[in-house]
Structure 1
């Protein structure tokens, strides 16, 4: 065996491995490209039909599937087309390379004409529809506020909760003048995008109020409240939610305080 024979064998092995890898890529492209194109076309057609009939609930839901269709179409065709062109230029596996190039090229053309081109109309329209839907949701939220169902403001929610505060102090036999009370409000944004405010009130009962008896008294009373309320107990916290006021009153065992918190009540458009 001469000194050059091992190098020749290694070179032939590398060439065989390279050809095998190229062949696998080309075959993979020939198989995957049509499947990917069909999926992309299906998604795009569904989006176009839904958009034409306005069957999507928020008007802007067409954007996501359409972008997915574009990505799938390009990923299925562009790599296969590049692999086919490279193989043709290297003059290797010309039959498989020609097949991959033709299949990927036709698929890419279909994606461009039937998926990408319509996107120039679908995506801007989806954005406009999404904005229109968001404005509608914000306005409906404000209309519900004006309809009189629930408190009209955070301050009103706090006022409606005062009877529950007074009842709790009376049950605990604590005079209102004997507690320290602080109130404040916080600002935020609703899920629909309107500005909103929340009411907060903290009533410190003091160490002279026994915590064990307080827990038992409030638990019994709050469980017996009407249908428009709900009681919950967890981690040393007793909580009574009042649906008509969109607020809760809680007793925190660790701090021995009553805490009133309202939902974030819409206060106007952003």
Structure 2
């Protein structure tokens, strides 16, 4: 459950993280062109086809060479935030943790006057539509608090459907435990393609990462409700951790290949420490 105190903490944290996020966004928001613009960048030698009105005649008077002025134009960045709401996210504090991270990104984007697109996914993609401006954060918080993670994660179908609405270069954050079929995960990442700034954030509970269990247990599949009675030995623990690490490494490798940033956090880490690491990367 996210309460008003979290938003108050975000406000206090804003002086630090807002500066960090702004500096990270700047490169994505600028487009460079000749002629009029908002920020002068540099001179470039005139070539046929350049805007004749962009010639700097003062430079020509000094050098007898034609140069055009290059400017940077600030453009609003489209920020896309997707949060997994499948059944496995209901384990302990995973969904609340993921929701806080997503809400934090939305808060900072709005503070920077960026356009945000906030969605959740499990079997299908669901796009949040709320009020505009800073009030949007409050309605978004209420929306997240009403969600009860359930069902299977169809990440490939969700990303495929969502991608149809991405029409420009964007900043994309996907927050999930990514405990689903590795082929579907990698295929969904490839769907996003290159050209965007993408951060893939894996949120796990410490018990999922280290599996500190031993003895007889009945395991419940949170997404299918299937049950399995089993004995967990030291060898079982080691095999589980090995396979999980292999799964994570495949996701990380795919992200590296695509130029995405991959992060893994456990919910025992203070959420603002995690958030600071994300916006400072």
**Given the two structures, how large is their TM-score scaled by the length of structure 1?**
0.21
Which structure dedicates a bigger proportion of its chain to helix?
1
Greater C-alpha radius of gyration: 1
Which structure dedicates a bigger proportion of its chain to strand?
2
